[in-house]
Chain A
Amino acid sequence: MTALAALFVRDMRLAVRVGGGALIGVLFFLIVVTLTPFALGPDLALLARVGPAILWLGALLASLLALDRLIAMDHEDGSLDLILTARVPLELAVAAKALAHWLTTGLPLVVAAPLLGFLLNLEPKATGAVALTLLAGTPALTFIGLIGAALTVALRRGGLLLAVLVLPLTVPVLIFGVAASNAAIVGPVPFATPFAILCALTLMSLVVGPFAAAAALRHGLE
């Protein structure tokens, strides 16, 4: 347990101290949202209608950004070998890493979302719904991304391949995240229905992600 806590604290420190990774994700999110009106036009009614979708797409892309560093950095400096040979189950170790990653890259996106909602002319209720769905959905993105990060850990050009592998798997999360946000704004289904499915997807990825990532690491690096 202490080993896991140490790993978690170490990853948090690295993420916060080195290069300001968390803020770069938020900055990317801000830029994506700023670019959208240039593509769609400054029509506020249109922006309010597609706003949840833009916020979700922006968060999805931003959460992909730092994923290739999630395990690759440990592979480069050799600490991954220590984690692999440690007595702590590898599944729990990668889960702790992913949790630290989500706290430093996913959670800032959730916090930034209400602010960006103002830029897109979202109602306060809609903004709240988007933030809530992002809070429930971004852990799924991180834990699905964990699988991709583990698969591409030893590759030189892993970053692009990671996106190609991970993005199709995030289709359900995107669908139910946007659907729940829209359900809160215009209906017709109640917010709880898609939101419950979104939570279920997140819970499932919390289970599948660490096991698949640990299998990929064990088999891939021996």
Chain B
Amino acid sequence: MTLIDFANPSRFLSFTDRVLAWLAAATLLAFAFGFSQVIAAPDDYQQGATVKIMFIHVPAAWLGIFAWGLMSVAALGTLVWRHPLADVAAKAAAPIGAAFTLICLITGSLWGRPMWGTYWVWDARLTSVLVLFLMYLGVIALWRTIDDPTRAARAAAVLTLVGAINLPIIKFSVDWWNTLHQPASVLRLGGPTIHPALLVPLILMAVAFMLLFLTLHLAAMRNEIMRRRLRTLQMLQARAAAGH
């Protein structure tokens, strides 16, 4: 890694310097407004107040999937264009995506306790989200096992793309498996469409979550660039100390 590689990241850093504070403020505002709408939203006639868990659960699930999509695009950027920021973006997105997926799983099982009478059922959606979570952990483990960031980036990029091909197949197989084994237990949100009184707060929360994701992602990318600079500086220092 030479210093010239930092030319682009430097511009990126000054960009995040200007944008991050505004984004964080926008996220706070969006959450404040979103939560006020969620509180004002009526309870579901069947689910009662527990329906409010959905306003966190559903956007978290969307972002959990979105983050893998973002990582896949970044993986293409790493493998095809060798863009210096692509692997930073992919690495920063993985833990955030995993966190949103975990939030989705936890809120889902909290919702399932009063609704299904148990914290966990092998429902098709829950199961495929669990597999997604495991794949996130696998990618993070791969990032952490290889010390050299560029090599780690390429290995993780290949794995991410293979995962992107496999995730729809896994989703399809799990759906098939579930309907084959226990067709009666598949409980869905009642009714084919969501009432606008619930849909509007849901979309507001989705926007707030999206802003939160952007803020966290930019901040994590910034940290990752700093971390790499530190690593390079430490290696330069070590080389100087060794007398080369």
CA distance A159 to B163 in the complex (A): 19
Closest approach, in angstroms, between the C-beta of B234 and any C-beta of chain A? 22
Contacts of B165 in A (CB 8 A): 208
CA distance A175 to B155 in the complex (A): 27
Asked whether any CB of chain A lies closer than 8 Å to the CB of B173, the reply is: yes
Interface segment among A55-63, A100-108, A160-168: the answer is A160-168
Query: Nearest B residue to A214 by beta-carbon distance?
Result: B158
Contacts of B134 in A (CB 8 A): 164, 167-168
Contacting residue for A164 out of B141, B151, B161, CB 8 A? B141
Closest approach, in angstroms, between the C-beta of A108 and any C-beta of chain B? 27
CA distance A155 to B152 in the complex (A): 11
Asked whether any CB of chain A lies closer than 8 Å to the CB of B79, the reply is: yes
Closest approach, in angstroms, between the C-beta of A80 and any C-beta of chain B? 15
Asked whether any CB of chain B lies closer than 8 Å to the CB of A169, the reply is: yes
Asked whether any CB of chain A lies closer than 8 Å to the CB of B230, the reply is: no
Cβ contact within 8 Å between B173 and A164: no
Contacting residue for A208 out of B162, B170, B177, CB 8 A? B162
Contacts of B172 in A (CB 8 A): 172
Cβ contact within 8 Å between B177 and A175: yes
Cβ contact within 8 Å between A169 and B166: yes
Asked whether any CB of chain B lies closer than 8 Å to the CB of A171, the reply is: yes
Most chain B beta carbons < 10 A, residue from A165, A197, A201: A165
Is the interface on chain B under 10, 10 to 19, 20 to 34, or 35 or more residues? Answer: 20 to 34
CA distance A208 to B158 in the complex (A): 11
Asked whether any CB of chain B lies closer than 8 Å to the CB of A65, the reply is: no
Asked whether any CB of chain A lies closer than 8 Å to the CB of B174, the reply is: yes
Asked whether any CB of chain B lies closer than 8 Å to the CB of A215, the reply is: yes
Contacts of B157 in A (CB 8 A): 219
Mark B139-159 against chain A: 1 for CB-CB distance below 8 A, else 0: 001100110000100110111
Contacting residue for A212 out of B131, B161, B170, B177, CB 8 A? B161
CA distance A201 to B134 in the complex (A): 21
Cβ contact within 8 Å between A164 and B138: yes
CA distance A219 to B161 in the complex (A): 14
Query: Nearest B residue to A148 by beta-carbon distance?
Result: B159
Asked whether any CB of chain B lies closer than 8 Å to the CB of A216, the reply is: yes
Query: Nearest A residue to B171 by beta-carbon distance?
Result: A172
Contacts of A195 in B (CB 8 A): none
Number of A-B contacts (CB under 8 A): 81
Cβ contact within 8 Å between A215 and B146: no
Cβ contact within 8 Å between B173 and A171: yes
Asked whether any CB of chain A lies closer than 8 Å to the CB of B137, the reply is: yes
Query: Nearest B residue to A163 by beta-carbon distance?
Result: B138
Query: Nearest A residue to B153 by beta-carbon distance?
Result: A219
Contacts of B146 in A (CB 8 A): 154-155
Asked whether any CB of chain A lies closer than 8 Å to the CB of B135, the reply is: yes
Cβ contact within 8 Å between A220 and B155: yes
Contacting residue for A201 out of B141, B169, B180, CB 8 A? B169
CA distance A166 to B157 in the complex (A): 15
Query: Nearest A residue to B130 by beta-carbon distance?
Result: A168
Cβ contact within 8 Å between A175 and B141: no
Asked whether any CB of chain B lies closer than 8 Å to the CB of A86, the reply is: no
Contacting residue for A219 out of B145, B154, B176, B180, CB 8 A? B154
Asked whether any CB of chain B lies closer than 8 Å to the CB of A111, the reply is: no
Contacts of A179 in B (CB 8 A): 176-177, 180
Contacting residue for B158 out of A157, A167, A176, A212, CB 8 A? A212
Contacts of B163 in A (CB 8 A): 169
Contacting residue for A216 out of B158, B166, B173, CB 8 A? B158
CA distance A212 to B166 in the complex (A): 12
CA distance A204 to B168 in the complex (A): 13
Query: Nearest B residue to A164 by beta-carbon distance?
Result: B138
Q: Across chains A and B, which 3 residue pairs bring their CB atoms closest together, nearest first?
A: A219-B154, A172-B173, A216-B158
Residues of A whose CB lies within 8 Å of any CB of B are 147, 150-152, 154-155, 157-158, 161, 164-165, 167-169, 171-172, 175-176, 179, 189, 194, 197, 201, 204, 208, 212, 215-216, 219-220
Pull 15 A–B residue pairs with CB atoms less than 8 Å apart, ordered by A: A157-B145, A161-B138, A164-B134, A164-B137, A164-B141, A168-B170, A169-B135, A169-B163, A171-B173, A171-B174, A204-B169, A212-B158, A216-B155, A219-B151, A219-B155
Q: Told that A165-B142, A169-B170, A171-B131 touch, could you supply 5 new A-B pairs with CB distance under 8 A? A: A152-B145, A154-B146, A155-B145, A164-B137, A175-B176
